[in-house]
Homo-oligomer: A and B are copies of this chain.
Amino acid sequence: MNIDKAKDFSEWYNTITKEAELCDLRYHVKGFIVFMPWSVMAMKRMYAMYEQALERNGHVPAWFPALIPESFLMKEKEHVEGFAPEVFWVTKAGLNDLEERLAMRPTSETAIYSMYSLWIHGLKDLPLKIYHSSQVWRYETKATKPFIRSREFHWIEAHDVFATEADAMAQVRQDMEMAEEVIHQKFGIPFLFFRRPQWDKFAGAVDTFAADTLLPDRRTLQLPSTHMLGQNFAKSFNVKYTDAKGEEQFCWQTTYGPAISRIYAALIATHGDERGLVLPFELAPVQVVIVPIVKAENREKVMGKCKGVEKQLVSASLRVKLDDSENSPGFKYNQWEMKGVPVRIEIGERDMESGTAMVVRRDTKEKTKIKFDSLESEIAKLPKSTLANLVSKADEWFKAQMGEADSMDALAGELEKHGFVRVPFCTDQKEGEKCADAVKEKTHANMRGSLFDSKDAPKSEKCVACGKKAEIYLYAARQY
């Protein structure tokens, strides 16, 4: 396609989602898209890998209803204020008007905690750690963009309950470690965890910690967030346990929400190049494509060899496609490069004579002649080495996106060169929101929060917006 993703990311992204057949935007409900097989096959694997991590860390799955009574949504005041404007409301069923209208879940806290209050009685019921893989629906008013923001998205929500604040905070850390393990180490997507300013936290939470990545245009995209809910929802929904002394206590809760469809957007954006999609080996719907180079007179012979190689690789548990269509080899190369298949094997009569096949890596575009005998063992090395290459390339670029500024003008300049710009800021408490608005107005950037666990603190610097003594370093970024 020959579009430079750094120079014209939006055009590049729209082209790739269409040409690689990842989604179809022509469905007749605004903001709803069809997720096509090529993206879904990868996203199902992403779901499975994330669910495995959750289960290893003590979570079990459950399925909660898609519809939430309005009265439940109303129980936590900040929560309903945050979500009510985005709700799709069911008001009729068949020919009947419903007595109480029902929300299509925009998130499930209120559905789930109404059950938790029935399930939790004593210390033996804690911790309770449950995840639900599902869709949620939000009537977004911002511009939608496939996988990045739409009115229906595919996510996992994990809802955990603990006896103590310390246990809940340990869960927040475990949630962050899972993001590192899965999103960074397995999908190759770099990010930073920010503690969001108080004016930008999840509606109803005490604190929100969110993983922000950067897309090639250096605008930031929020990946999973984990929320310390404190006892806010426990008090609204009466989630209590009886402690060792026989006294009732409110529980401490956390919520964690990896949006798989959005992580897939980051996957496309992080690894893709001017030829199309680049996928980590483990996520690719097809891992190896075999392209026969045939003429009429040697077709049978070459195809026989190709089928042999296909069979061998399939029995080594690889997902293999032998492209025996009538298209030209060049057409096939382009097509499978666009789709991000990690390895291409070209086999023609000359290759057969020399006893080697041409093996082409999608990530490095490297071409190597490999003996048929060692094909299986050489390809077995690629999952690890392609992933390592993708991770290190992504990390290198990401690390170069960190800037610093100590004034509004310097910030505006830095935002042209870097993704995240650290600035001294008066406070990340509610009172700081005016300063954040001022930054937004002058630079179109948002204050994404402070770096989680960072000990860095301003000494004598001044807030870039109000000029008062800075208490904290916050990071500014333009966002999706």
Are the C-beta atoms of A67 and B88 separated by less than 8 Å?
Answer: yes
Interface residues of A in 56-110 (CB under 8 A from B): 60-69, 72, 84-96, 101-102, 104
Find chain B residues with CB under 8 A from A28 CB: 69, 72, 114
Find chain B residues with CB under 8 A from A91 CB: 89-92
Q: Which secondary structure characterizes the binding site on chain A?
A: mixed
Find chain B residues with CB under 8 A from A93 CB: 87-89, 139
Find chain B residues with CB under 8 A from A32 CB: 65, 67
Find chain B residues with CB under 8 A from A130 CB: 37
CB-CB nearest in chain B for A27: B65
Q: What is the distance, in angstroms, from A88's C-beta to the closest C-beta of chain B?
A: 5
Are the C-beta atoms of B29 and A69 separated by less than 8 Å?
Answer: yes
Cα distance, A479 to B111, chains bound together (Å): 33
Asked if A40 CB lies within 8 Å of chain B CBs, one says: yes
Asked if A199 CB lies within 8 Å of chain B CBs, one says: no
Asked if A34 CB lies within 8 Å of chain B CBs, one says: yes
Asked if A26 CB lies within 8 Å of chain B CBs, one says: yes
Are the C-beta atoms of A26 and B115 separated by less than 8 Å?
Answer: yes
Find chain B residues with CB under 8 A from A34 CB: 62-65, 115
Name, among A35, A94, A104, A152, the residue most crowded by chain B CB atoms within 10 Å (CB to CB).
Answer: A94
Asked if A135 CB lies within 8 Å of chain B CBs, one says: yes
Listed A/B pairs (24) with beta-carbon separation below 8 Å: A24-B118, A26-B118, A27-B64, A27-B65, A28-B72, A28-B114, A29-B68, A34-B64, A34-B65, A35-B64, A36-B62, A37-B61, A37-B130, A40-B61, A40-B62, A66-B135, A67-B152, A85-B94, A85-B95, A88-B90, A88-B92, A88-B102, A92-B101, A94-B139
